[in-house]
Every structure is written in C-alpha cells, then in structure tokens.
Amino acid sequence: MKNLIHIIIFMFGISMLGQTFILQERDKQLHFAAGSFAGVLGYSWSYHRYHNKTKAIITGLCTSLVAGVAKEVYDNYQGGIFDKRDILATGMGGVFVTFTIPLFQNKKNRSQ
C-alpha cells in the first residue's frame, strides 16, 4: 500500500513539471483551496469510520479529485471550458492536505 502512495506522489510530481507557476492564477488558488477542503472532508469521514490512515488518505485524494472533475463538468455544461489544470490544482490541494493531516495526528498508545 505504501508503494501505491509513492506512485501517486510520483505521478502528481511528474504532472506538475512545467506547471511550476500553476498556483499563481487566482482561479487555481481557489481550486487548490476547494481541493484541500474536499480532501479534509474525505479524510476525516474515512478515518472516523475505518480508523485506517491509508484508507483515509486514499479517500481524501479521491474526494478532492471527484470534486475537481465535478466542478469542471458543471462548468462545461454551463458553457464554460473544461480546464484540466483546474483539476490538477484541486488534486494538488487534496494531496497537500491528506499527506499533512497524518503528520499531526496523535499516535495511539501501543501498550493497550
């Protein structure tokens, strides 16, 4: 399972090459924030339900990506443009928050 997480990080890293200034646009910053929010919701829900950090990370990532795709589909339906970079920015927000939360969670007492 750790390999899957490393693969996901690697794929996001590769997809961001050449996109170093993606978060300088206001729209992308909003997508990043929305992805962070969706990632927190997905992570929290999954962690409280299953008490498994790996499942929670995957759920948080998927939640943020689904939110990004749903927003772009909605924009396209309303006559806007389907922007893949918006989905990337939303996913980056999810990656940021779902890998940051476990760093600050308390470890359970193993002696119990």
Give the model confidence (pLDDT) of 44-65 as tens digits. 999 999 999 999 999 999 999 9
Give domain status of residue 55, yes or no: yes
With the CA atoms of 6, 102, 30 and 28 taken in that order, what torsion angle do they form, in degrees rounded to the nearest 10? -20
Range of the domain at 24: 2-104
Domains: count for the chain: 1
Assess if residue 94 is contained within a domain. Answer: yes
The answer as to whether 111 is a domain residue is: no
Assess if residue 36 is contained within a domain: yes
Q: Does a structural domain hold residue 109?
A: no
CB 95 within 8 A of CB 9: yes
Q: How confident is the model at residue 22 (pLDDT cuts 50, 70, 90)?
A: low
Q: How confident is the model at residue 110 (pLDDT cuts 50, 70, 90)?
A: very low
What is d(CA 40, CA 103) in angstroms, rounded to the nearest whole number? 14
In a domain, residue 23? The reply is yes
pTM of the model: 0.76
Any domain includes 112: no
